[in-house]
């Protein structure tokens, strides 16, 4: 079964993908993403790989006959891709050279543009799940891309907030957030020529970093060559600092927030940024989402970011000073 089911309480769609229950855990003696597997080229740097167990597909089956006027269903149309970061089975994002991460940024930008060319796609979400703590079953370093036929609710609310702020103030909300964090200073992590990174005032994760472009740009497709180079640079700095923080591989969910596609023009008010959702609150302690957070969407950060930002900022500087696998 693969279909979209409408949730009238939230005005959002739920993807039903029961076939994904058959996703494999990584065999101990075989990796389909490693050269020589027969599933990928024998040589590659970064690679787009169509997901073997997609929640959304270009030729979805017709939904089961279970829909009603209150509960519409529709085909799970879209695209799910896997983005392989490297042929090296063990080289995670912070361990890759900046020049190699730049190739990843180029592939992300290329896939964003290619998927946006399909008028049925409405949002292209580039993301990474890292670590078993967030459910990763295939440890070969990779990210994913989902092209949705709708704008998911969280992103829709964010877009609406940015549009309202523009109407009320004449300014971009993310530009204002960047300036607020730079002015406060205490929550800043690192600043480069074209990007800023900080733990925003409102994040619900102790180490929930943002990376935001200084220029008011909506997507990777608008970046200059220098900005793409610098994005690779700051991605390595922030993720290497996360690993250095507790001297262990740092689990996270990373999501690129970009302009929606094939819809209203959001150029005036929307702004590219990356959000991290790391579940660690200490080296061996996880932040669990309990009833209030899951049932009411009432976030609770167990630690003030004015305390955690200096820790992560120092770890980023240590990692940078050690020139980890540059």
pLDDT in tens, 5-21: 999 999 999 999 875 55
Q: What is the mean pLDDT of residues 55-76?
A: 96
Please say if the pLDDT value at position 169 is more than 70. yes
pLDDT tens column, 203-257: 999 999 999 999 999 999 999 999 999 999 999 999 999 999 999 999 999 999 9
Is pLDDT at 295 greater than 80 in this prediction? yes
Whether 266 has a pLDDT exceeding 60, the answer reads: yes
CATH number for the domain spanning 23: value is: 3.30.428.10
Scanning the chain, the segments in alpha helix (DSSP H) are 98-116, 153-169, 173-184, 225-246, 291-295, 305-322
- Band of the pLDDT at 321, cuts 50, 70, 90? confident
**46 with 111: CB under 8 angstroms?**
no
Active site members: 142
Helices 305-322 and 225-246: angle between axes, nearest 10 degrees:
110
SS3 128: strand
- Decide the pairing of beta strands 142-148 and 79-84: antiparallel
Q: What pLDDT shows up at residue 1?
A: 72
Q: Which of 30, 224, 246, 216 is nearest to 139 (CA)?
A: 30
**pLDDT tens digits for range 106-135:** 999 999 999 999 999 999 999 999 999 999
Q: What is the domain count for the chain?
A: 1
Per-residue confidence (pLDDT) for residue 167, from 0 to 100: 98
Which residue range forms the structural domain that includes residue 231?
2-322
| pLDDT in the model for residue 324 | 47
């Amino acid at each position: 079964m693969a279909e979209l089911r409408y949730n009238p309480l939230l005005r959002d769609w739920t993807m039903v993908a029961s076939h994904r229950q058959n996703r494999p855990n990584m065999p101990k003696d075989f990796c389909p993403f490693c050269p020589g597997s027969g599933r990928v080229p024998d040589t590659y740097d970064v690679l787009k790989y169509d997901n073997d167990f997609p929640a959304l597909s270009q030729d979805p089956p017709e939904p089961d006959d279970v829909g009603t006027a209150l509960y519409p269903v529709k085909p799970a149309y879209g695209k799910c891709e896997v983005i392989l970061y490297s042929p090296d089975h063990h080289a995670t994002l912070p361990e890759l050279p900046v020049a190699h991460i730049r190739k990843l940024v180029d592939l992300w930008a290329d896939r964003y543009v290619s998927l946006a060319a399909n008028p049925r796609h409405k949002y292209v979400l580039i993301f990474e799940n890292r670590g078993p703590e967030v459910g990763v079953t295939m440890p070969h370093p990779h990210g994913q891309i989902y092209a949705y036929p709708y704008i998911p609710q969280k992103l829709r609310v964010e877009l609406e907030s940015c549009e309202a702020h523009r109407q009320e103030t004449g300014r971009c909300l993310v530009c204002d957030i960047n300036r607020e964090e730079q002015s406060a200073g205490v929550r800043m992590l690192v600043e480069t020529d074209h990007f800023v990174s900080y733990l925003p005032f409102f994040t619900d994760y102790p180490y929930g970093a943002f990376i935001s472009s200084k220029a008011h740009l909506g997507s990777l497709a608008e970046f200059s060559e220098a900005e793409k180079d610098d994005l690779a640079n700051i991605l390595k700095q922030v993720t290497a600092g996360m690993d250095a923080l507790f001297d262990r591989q740092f689990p996270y969910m990373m999501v690129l927030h970009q302009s929606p596609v094939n819809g209203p023009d959001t150029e005036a008010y929307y702004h590219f940024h990356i959000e991290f959702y790391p579940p660690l609150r200490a080296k061996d302690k996880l932040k669990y989402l309990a009833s209030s957070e899951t049932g009411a969407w009432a976030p609770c950060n167990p630690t003030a970011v004015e305390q955690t930002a200096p820790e992560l900022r120092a770890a980023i500087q240590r990692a940078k000073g050690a020139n980890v696998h540059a």
